[in-house]
Each structure stands twice: as C-alpha cells, then as structure tokens.
C-alpha cells in the first residue's frame, strides 16, 4: 500500500497538476482495451526524462510497481495495474522534437500519438511505416512497448525495424541511451531487446525513429469472395507469386456487416470474406501488379474486384478497416481479440480450424487478419451476462493459441502477451527459454518493479502446464 507521504513525494517531483489519486480518477486508469479491471494507487504524468527518473527512483526505493502507459489501447492487459502501484502515464511527453528528412530520422517523446507524427511528416512527403489500426490513439512509446505492427508492415516490417535508438530510464532511475542516432552501434542490441518488452525492462523517454519517403502512388483494391477459404487461398497465392503488396487485410462477413452498420465504408454485407489490398510503389509498375493480382483472384473464384477510384473511396475503405474492432464492439461490447500468427501457407487450415472451434463452443468468432503476414485476429464474441459463455470464450481463446503454436506459429504477432496470454506462453516456450528470459528481466529489473507480472509467466506455474518439449 502506498502511503500518503509517498504521494506527496511524487507530487513534489511532477507538480500538483500532474498527479491524480482520487477514486474517480483511479477508476479511469483501471482498464485498457481488454475486459479486465484493477485499481492503481496513483497516476502520475511526468513531462520530462528527469521527472520519470525521479518517480522511478522513489518507486525503486519503496519497491512500488510502476506501469508505463501510453494510450492504454493495448489488447493484452499490458497496462492493467493488477498489483496496484503507479501508473506512469506518458501522454504529456508528447512533443515531436525533430523531423530531419535529410537523415530519414525523427526524434520524438514517447507520448506522441502515431497519427500525429504521420500528420507532421505528411507535408515533407515522409511516413513512419508502422501504422497500427489504432494509430489515431496509440502512442509511439506504446508501439515500441508492444513492437506494434499494422497493415503496412507487410511490405515494410514492424516497429523494431524503424527505431534507431532510444533514451531509457532503468528500474533504478538511471538514464541510458541504447542504439543511437545512426546504424550499427557497437555492443549488444539492447534496443532490440527493449522493443516489445511491454514496459518490463525500462521506460523509453525519447525515441529516434527511422522515417522513409512516402511511396509515389498507391492503389486500393477491394476483392470480394464467396468463401473464406477462397479469400485466404488468394492471399497465399499472391505471396507465393512473389508479390508483396503494401498491405493485404482480410475481413470476414460478420465484421464487414458490423463496419457498415456504423459507417458506409463501401464493404459488401453479404459476402463471406473480402480482401483489402493496397499496392504501392512507382506508378510505372502498378498496372501490371493489378493485372497479376486479378488473375490470381479469378483462379480463386472471386466474385468481384473493385479498385477505389478516388482518394475519398480509398480513405473510406481504410477508415472502415481501422474501425473494425470498434464496429464489433458496437454490436457486442465484450469480445476477446486473438493475435496468433502462422506461417503464410498455413493460413487456410488455421482459419478452417478456428471455424471448428467456434462451432464446438457455439460461439460467434469474427475474423480480421493482417493476412499477408499470416497474422489473424479472431474476435471471440460473448455475452457478459452469460457465465457459461464467458468460460467457453476463454477456452476457445486458449485453443486458438494452441492451434497457432501447433501450426508452427506464435500466440501473438503484435499485441503482446500482457496478462491475457501469460499461460499460453507455456505452449510456445520451454522452461529453458523462459528461464533465459527471466534472467534478462532480473538484470534489468532486479527488484521487479517495472510492470511486474506481465509478459513472462510465473515460474511456479510451470508445473501446472506442460511446457513445450525441447527439440533435440
């Protein structure tokens, strides 16, 4: 339990306007984008690295948990304060410090919202390639915390490819720099280690990001199919033909319908699945890519292939895709978002099995996928008033995790482990794998104050699970 004197000390560090501790305020930070809820003890809004360091030093001394939080849009329970403690909310460190197009570089504070950076880059004709569908809200610090992906990561790769370096506050308050403002920094890749570590190893307080020129032109295709199978086979065939579009998203009928209930984005509501494909690059080569792709679609019994004619049409389709989770939430407030990723040629059988799991538990499972990367987001819908259904939904989620592991894939491609997938970690890793990770955690955070209990499942629980057999 945090004492009043501790809150006073924190107030001294961040100032009275940057700390909250009333019950009403604590409630507002008790959840993220999952369905769990736990109460924090205090919320602080540091505005500088020095303030972050000051807060961490106090927490380190008193062994108080510190949970870094950007916008709280993560889908894994990563910012749930299930052990109380401090929510270190970084949204007030939201300045873009430098845009340096000549060096393909931008320097930002961690609380900058992804889309705000994109908007600031647009006049220069540059982009920051990672574009999580949550980009209107999620912060770059949070993107780094989860190693976020996004539709356009198909062509360009995920967040870790676009971070040169960062300033980090360690668990004892020391400030260091990892990586750098140039490439190939000597020594271990602590930068790579920190990216995706979900706030468990250190707090990023300044990011040096790699930005690139926006592609010359892009074309958005909406491809409509009568079966999910045909749509996912098309994805495999396009990849197999060596075409790497900018993005290739799969959206099923339930989700299309939900999207169209909210806005008119242009999706059909009577087709089993659609692909939203974005081609980008030099204008010289796009016509042929469109031809090649439509041939592949024909082979897979496509119903219709539409090419967005105006940028407004293009934008509407993307707005619909980005709003997919929200749209589902309007028809069913509670659902679990899965994030398994499988080898790209295992998409068809995996989706087939997800369907069987839905039938087995009598659940509706909607589907959205960053299909080109084999990253699927089955959305398991359930009714919170129906205790049996809650149990079924959880079980179905576990089975989907196991399914993705057994297909040679992973339980999470971009959303992170957080609290939600802690136990699924045992399906993917051996106890030797996990103990190596724990050692790294202990080096960075010997007192265990940084987002404790997230990402790595407790060692004690290992005996309850069959960990993955160690291959010879």
Ligand X SMILES: Cc1cc2nc3c(=O)[nH]c(=O)nc-3n(C[C@H](O)[C@H](O)[C@H](O)COP(=O)(O)OP(=O)(O)OC[C@H]3O[C@@H](n4cnc5c(N)ncnc54)[C@H](O)[C@@H]3O)c2cc1C
Q: Which residues would be at the binding site for ligand X (CB under 6 A)?
A: 32-33, 67-75, 78-79, 90, 110, 132-134, 138-139, 141-143, 145-146, 148-150, 198-199, 203-204, 325-326, 414-415, 451
Q: Which one of the spans 227-235, 311-319, 325-333, 442-450 is the region binding other proteins (CB under 8 A)?
A: 442-450
> Crossing angle of helices 311-322/324-331, nearest 10°?
50
Between residues 49 and 392, which has the closer beta carbon with respect to ligand X? Answer: 49
69 binds other proteins (CB under 8 A): no
Q: Which residues contact 340 (CB under 8 A, 6 or more apart)?
A: 350, 375, 376, 378, 400, 401, 403, 404, 405, 409, 410, 411, 412, 413
Of 240, 326, 333, 458, which one interacts with other proteins (CB under 8 A)?
A: 240
Cβ pair 57, 35 in contact under 8 A? no
By three-state DSSP, how is residue 281 classified? strand
Minimum CB distance to ligand X, residue 448 (Å): 14
49 binds, among other proteins, ligand X, none (CB under 5 to 8 A by kind): none
187 binds other proteins (CB under 8 A): yes
- In eight-state DSSP terms, residue 341 is B
- Provide, rounded to whole angstroms, the least separation between the CB of residue 167 and other proteins: 9
Q: Helix (H, G, I), strand (E, B), or coil: what is residue 266?
A: coil
Nearer to other proteins, 226 or 292 (CB): 292
User: Quick check: helix, strand or coil at residue 38?
Assistant: coil
CA-CA distance, 106 to 472, in Å (whole number)?
A: 45
Paired with 304 in beta bridges are 224
Assess 458 for contact with other proteins (CB under 8 A): no
Tokens of 374: 């084999």
Which segments of 195-238 are extended strands (E)?
A: 203-210, 212-213, 217-225
Looking at residues 348 to 387 of the shown chain, list those that interact with other proteins (rule: CB under 8 A). Answer: 370, 373-375
Nearer to ligand X, 203 or 228 (CB): 203
**From ligand X, other proteins, none, interface partner of 184 (C-beta below 5 to 8 A by class):** other proteins
Q: Which of 282, 310, 385, 466 binds other proteins (CB under 8 A)?
A: 282
Which of 432, 376, 366, 369 lies closest to 401 in space, CA to CA? Answer: 376
d(CA 121, CA 249): 25
Shortest reach from residue 276's CB to ligand X, in Å: 13
Q: What is the 3-state secondary structure (H, E, C) of 126-171?
A: EECCCCCCCCCCCEHHHHHHHCCCCCCHHHHCCHHHHEEEEEEECC
* Those residues with Cβ within 8 angstroms of residue 320's Cβ, 6 or more apart along the chain or in another chain: 259, 260, 263, 265, 266, 267, 327
Residue 253 in the binding site for other proteins (CB under 8 A): no
Q: How far is the CB of 433 from ligand X (least distance, A)?
A: 20
Q: Judged by CB, which is closer to other proteins: 229, or 272?
A: 229
Shorter beta-carbon distance to other proteins: residue 110 or 150: 150
Q: How far is the CB of 126 from ligand X (least distance, A)?
A: 20
Nearer to other proteins, 214 or 306 (CB): 214
Residue 50: Cβ within 10 Å count: 14
Nearer to ligand X, 88 or 297 (CB): 88
Of 74 and 341, which CB lies nearer to ligand X in the complex structure?
74
Q: Single out the residue of 15, 281, 448, 453 in contact with other proteins (rule: CB under 8 A).
A: 281
16 touches other proteins by CB under 8 A: no
Q: Which of 52, 201, 368, 380 binds other proteins (CB under 8 A)?
A: 201
């Amino acid at each position: 339990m945090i004492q009043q004197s501790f809150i006073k000390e924190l107030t001294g560090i961040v100032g009275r306007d940057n700390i909250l501790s009333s019950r009403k305020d604590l409630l507002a930070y008790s959840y993220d984008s999952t369905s769990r809820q736990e109460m924090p003890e205090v919320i602080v809004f540091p505005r500088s690295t020095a303030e972050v360091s000051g807060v961490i030093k106090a927490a380190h001394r008193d062994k108080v948990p510190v949970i870094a939080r950007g916008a709280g849009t993560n889908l894994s329970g990563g910012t749930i304060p299930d052990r109380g403690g401090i929510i270190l909310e970084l949204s007030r460190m939201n300045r873009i410090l430098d845009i340096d197009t000549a060096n393909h570089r931008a320097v930002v504070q961690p609380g900058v919202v992804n889309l705000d950076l994109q908007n600031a880059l647009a006049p220069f004709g540059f982009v920051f390639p990672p574009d999580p569908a949550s980009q209107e809200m999620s912060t770059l610090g949070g993107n780094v915390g989860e190693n976020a992906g996004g539709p356009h990561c198909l062509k360009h790769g995920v967040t870790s490819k676009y971070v040169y370096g960062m300033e980090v506050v360690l668990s004892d308050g020391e400030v260091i720099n990892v990586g750098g403002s140039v490439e190939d920094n000597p020594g271990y890749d602590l930068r790579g280690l920190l990216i995706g570590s979900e706030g468990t190893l250190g707090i990023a307080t300044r990011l040096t990001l790699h930005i690139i020129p926006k592609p010359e032109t892009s074309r958005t295709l909406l491809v409509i199919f009568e079966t999910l199978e045909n749509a996912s086979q098309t994805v495999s065939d396009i990849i197999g033909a060596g075409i790497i579009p900018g993005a290739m998203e799969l959206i099923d009928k339930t989700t299309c319908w939900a999207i169209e209930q909210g806005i008119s984005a242009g999706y059909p509501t009577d087709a089993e699945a659609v692909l939203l494909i974005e081609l980008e690059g030099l204008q010289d080569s796009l016509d042929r890519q469109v031809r090649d792709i439509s041939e592949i679609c024909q082979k897979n019994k496509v119903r219709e292939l539409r090419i967005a004619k105006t940028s407004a049409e293009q934008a509407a389709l993307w707005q619909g895709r980005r709003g997919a989770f929200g749209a589902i939430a309007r028809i069913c407030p509670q659902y679990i978002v899965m994030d398994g990723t499988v080898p790209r040629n295992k998409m068809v059988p995996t989706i087939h099995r997800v369907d069987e799991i839905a039938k087995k538990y009598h659940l509706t499972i909607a589907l959205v996928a960053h299909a080109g990367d084999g990253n699927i987001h089955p959305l398991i819908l359930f009714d919170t008033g129906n205790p049996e259904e809650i149990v079924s939904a959880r079980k179905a989620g576990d089975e989907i995790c196991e399914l993705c592991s057994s297909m040679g894939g992973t339980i999470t491609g971009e959303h992170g482990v957080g609290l939600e997938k802690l136990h699924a970690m045992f399906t993917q890793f051996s106890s030797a794998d996990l103990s190596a990770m724990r050692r790294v955690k202990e080096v960075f955070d010997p007192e265990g104050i940084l987002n404790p209990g997230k990402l790595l499942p407790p060692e004690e629980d290992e005996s309850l699970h069959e960990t993955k057999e160690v291959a010879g």
